[in-house]
Amino acid sequence: MDSSGKYNAAKLALELVKDGMVLGIGSGSTVEVFLNLLGDKIREEGLEIYGIPSSYQSYFAAIRNGVEIVDLVEFEPDLCIDGADQVDAKLNCIKGGGGAMTREKIVAKASRKVVIIVDESKLVEKLSMPVPVEVLPFAYGYAVKRLKEKAKDVRLREGKGKVGPVITDNGNFILDCDFGVLEDEKVEEMEGRTKLVSGVVENGIFPKKIVDAVIAGSQSSARFL
Binding residues for substrate: 27-30, 82-85, 95-98, 122
Contact 79, 115 (CB under 8 A): yes
Q: Sign of the CA dihedral 107, 111, 114, 117? A: negative
Residues 6+ apart with CB under 8 A from 114: 24, 79, 80, 82, 108, 210, 211, 212, 213
Q: Which of 68, 76, 104, 202 is catalytic?
A: 104
Active site residue 104: yes
- Rounded CA-CA distance 77/72 in Å is 8
Q: Is 88 helix (H, G, I), strand (E, B) or coil?
A: coil
Contact 133, 194 (CB under 8 A): yes
Q: Is 61 helix (H, G, I), strand (E, B) or coil?
A: helix
Contact 115, 87 (CB under 8 A): no
> Pick from 73, 62, 61: which is nearest to 23 by CA?
62
Contact 194, 212 (CB under 8 A): no
Known binding residues are 27-30, 82-85, 95-98, 122
> Mind telling me the catalytic residues?
104
